[in-house]
Structure formats: structure tokens, C-alpha cells
DNA sequence: GATATTCAGGACATTTAATATCCAGGTTAT
DNA sequence: ATAACCTGGATATTAAATGTCCTGAATATC
């Protein structure tokens, strides 16, 4: 999995604590000492996916495009890592005996089905957790986190 | 995910229909028209993981090392793809404000926990499915499959 | 309007992992 | 003795991840 997933999940949680204000890629990168240009690529992907909004020019930057309650971890994984599942069925049964050339073995093959079923539970789990969930949980454990975060961004 | 996972899952199901007989890597590869030497590497990994037994020399080859009911899909994924999870926490919180240098953020970080929880459901699902499950399901749908498979192997 | 800031995105460069191939050495059935 | 077969290391090839750089477009501010 793309390391950018980790970066932008943290960035989205941080952005949820700075509502209504655009934060530049440079500052988001400086927060965790990440490579700016590369993080910017990931942020662009989130923008294309409708998770962030971006603005050019001075006072420009990125913000969450919607309520963090409506941004799931799956949304982010799909935006950064793409929609493909980890297990890719190459339909090797087509090379086996009694193969049906017209069959879609990605659907029919028992192994493919089992792997897809497992990935489905994974995705369901990720779909059930939102950026707001995570942010709330952080606040429960570390009440100062939002303040500390805003403070750090103010000094970048 | 390594494509070898697909190859060896199919191979293990096939082997479950040829109990007590060693099948060479060459024949296992020919069955699905796979690169022999590379498949052999995957089979070696399964052998090291205790899923297969191997024998050198004429009449040598690979067999299932235990009852297919006791070989889970997770066993195979771990043997081929390694034990690492897809999401790798790099502890970027250590670069953030108020970081605790002694903390293990792979355990403490809320994002890391959420991703690990999701992968856990995935692994639990895979751990709950065995090679025998899949083989039985195939037989239920295609009763001729074991016979066809044995027949094809006999002619390779 | 000029300027400085920032995002957008394409074109690279580098590193790492996946996907192989080959061979030399050890094992074993015949 | 011989041939078949697995083992594992070395190496090659390809694709993906990771990262940099630069041009162009948008825009806030003076």
C-alpha cells in the first residue's frame, strides 16, 4: 500500500481541526517533515476524488471538501491507492482443463470469490470509520491535540 | 499481492485431489501454463512454511503436508506474501508536535489501529477458509473437477 | 496591472519490489 | 551410474513506488 495513505489520513485529521481555513501543501508537509512535492501529488489525488478542495494563489491551499463524518478511510484508500483489490485474479483457470472461454472467472472461480469476500470485509471495515471518528478518538485520549495542531500550523 | 498466491492456491486445491502422490513443479506449472522455475520458487516457500512436503529425485515432487482442512488461505498468503500488513505505519507522529520518542506509534496511533483492525477482519476471514472448503465447493458445482484434474495430470 | 504565492500536472530520475531465468549442488529412484 | 528432481543463490528484466523539477494557470494583495 502506498505510503501516501498514511500521510493524507493524518493530514485529513489535522485539517478537520482547522475548519474553514486553507492549508498549503508546504505546511502540511512541514508538519510531519514530509517531501512537499510528493505529498502535494497525494493531495491532488484527494482533490480529484472530491475529498479535498483546493485553491490557488496566496491564501490558497487545501481544505476538507465535506464534513469529516462523511469521509471514510475507504474513501482515502481508494483515492490514493486506486480501486483495485490486493488479490488480482488472472483467471488461470482459462489455461486449465475444461475451461470455458466465455466464463468470467473473476466472478466464477471459488478462489477468486473467497479472496474477494475477505477483501470485502476489509473494505466494509474501512468504510465504517470516518476521519471524524478518528479525530474524536484522538481528542478523547489527548484533549490538547487540536490546540497543539493549530498552534503548530500557525508557526509553520 | 504476489501473483504466486493465486497460482499456489489453485495448485493446493489440485494437490488435494491427488493425495499421497508427489507432483513435480514442472507438471504443476504445465497445468496452468505457468513459468516452471518461478512457480517452483513459490512451492519452495510453501514447503518452508510447512504447507507442502517436497521430495527430490525421480518420483519426487510436492504434496500437501497435512490435511487440506488444516491449510487456511491465510497460511498461504503469509507463506507467499510474507507476514507484513498492507498498511505499514511509519510512525510519522514522531515527526509531529508533542511526540514521545519512546512511544510505539504502530500500537498507539489511532490511524494505525484503525488500519490494523481492518486488516485483522481480512485475515480472520482468510483464516476461516481452508483448501478443503474450496475444494468441496468446487466439487459441489463441478462434480467432475477432481477426475478431470487427475486425468489432466496423468497426461502431463 | 504587476507581483508574489500557490495549485495542477507532465516529465523526468531514483529506488525498491515483483517477475522471472539460469545454473551449480545435493538428493534419490531405478 | 544415471537421470530426474528439489534447493537456493546469482542475475536479469519489468513494473511500481517514491521523489524531484519545471512550466503554466489561478488568485490575493499592493
CA nearest A80: which of A23, A109, A25, A38? Answer: A38
Please name the residue of chain A whose CA is at the shortest distance from the CA of residue B95: A32
Residues B28, B153 contacting (CB under 8 angstroms): no
Neighbours of A59 (CB within 10 A): 9
Written as nine digits, the cell of A35 is 517531501
CA distances from B74 to A84, A134, B126 (A): 20, 28, 5
Q: What is the pLDDT of residues B20-49, one digit of tens each?
A: 999 999 999 999 999 999 999 999 999 999
- What pLDDT, on a 0 to 100 scale, did the predictor assign at position B98? 83
- Name the protein residue, with chain letter, whose CA is nearest the C1' of D25: A56
Q: What pLDDT sits at residue A98?
A: 84
- Asked whether residue A118 carries a pLDDT value surpassing 90, the answer given is yes
Which pLDDT belongs to residue A18?
96
Q: Which residue is nearest to nucleotide D22 (CA to C1')?
A: A37
Burial B93-108 (b: 16+ CB within 10 A, else e): beebeeeeeeeebeee
Cell 485474479, located at residue: A89
Beta pairing, strands A61-64 & A52-55: antiparallel
At residue A40, does pLDDT exceed 90?
yes
pLDDT value of residue B42: 97
Shortest Cα distance, chain B CAs vs residue A110, angstroms: 6
- pLDDT tens string, chain B, 156 residues long: the values are 999 999 999 999 999 999 999 999 999 999 999 999 999 999 999 999 999 999 999 999 999 999 999 999 999 999 999 999 999 999 999 998 888 889 999 999 999 999 999 999 999 999 999 999 999 999 999 999 999 999 999 988
Q: What does the pLDDT look like over A54-91, one tens digit per residue? A: 999 999 999 999 999 999 999 999 999 999 999 999 99
Among B92, B114, B137, beta carbon nearest to A7:
B92
Q: How far apart are CA A88 and CA A79, in angstroms?
A: 18
d(CA A25, CA A37): 8
**A141 CA, D2 C1': Å apart:** 72
Q: Cβ A73–B34 below 8 Å, yes or no? A: no
Q: Does residue A97 have a pLDDT over 90?
A: no
Element (H, E) at A10: helix A4-16
Answer whether A86 sits within 8 Å of B86, measured CB to CB: yes
Report the distance separating Cα B151 and Cα A133, nearest Å: 56
Q: Distance (Å) from the C-alpha of residue B30 to the closest C-alpha of chain A?
A: 9
Tell me, what's the pLDDT at B156?
84
The DSSP-derived string for chain B is --THHHHHHHHHHHHHTSTT--B-HHHHHHHHT--HHHHHHHHHHHHHTTSEEEE-STT-EEEESS-GGG-BHHHHHHHHH-S--SS----GGGGSTT--TT--HHHH-HHHHHHHHHHHHHHHHHHT-BHHHHHHHHHHH-TTHHHHHHHHHHT-
Residue B64 pairs with which residues in a beta bridge?
A: B52
Do you know the residue count of chain A? 156
pLDDT at residue A81, as a whole number: 96
Average pLDDT, chain B: 96
> What whole-number distance in Å separates Cα of residue B86 and Cα of residue A2?
9
Task: Assign A30 a pLDDT band (cuts: 50, 70, 90).
Answer: very high
Amino acid at each position: 500500500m502506498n505510503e501516501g495513505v498514511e500521510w493524507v489520513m493524518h493530514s485529513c485529521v489535522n485539517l478537520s481541526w482547522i475548519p474553514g481555513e486553507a492549508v498549503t501543501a508546504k505546511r502540511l508537509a512541514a508538519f510531519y517533515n514530509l517531501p512537499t512535492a510528493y505529498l502535494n501529488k497525494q493531495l491532488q489525488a484527494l482533490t480529484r476524488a472530491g475529498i479535498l478542495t483546493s485553491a490557488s494563489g496566496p491564501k490558497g491551499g487545501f481544505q476538507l471538501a465535506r464534513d469529516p463524518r462523511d469521509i471514510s478511510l475507504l474513501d482515502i484508500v481508494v483515492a490514493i491507492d486506486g480501486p483495485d483489490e490486493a488479490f488480482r485474479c488472472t483467471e488461470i483457470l482459462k489455461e486449465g482443463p475444461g475451461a470455458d472461454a466465455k466464463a468470467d472467472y473473476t466472478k466464477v472461480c471459488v478462489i477468486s470469490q473467497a479472496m474477494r469476500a475477505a477483501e470485502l470485509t476489509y473494505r466494509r471495515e474501512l468504510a465504517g470509520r470516518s476521519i471524524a471518528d478518528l479525530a474524536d478518538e484522538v481528542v478523547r485520549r489527548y484533549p490538547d491535540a487540536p490546540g497543539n495542531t493549530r498552534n503548530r500550523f500557525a508557526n509553520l
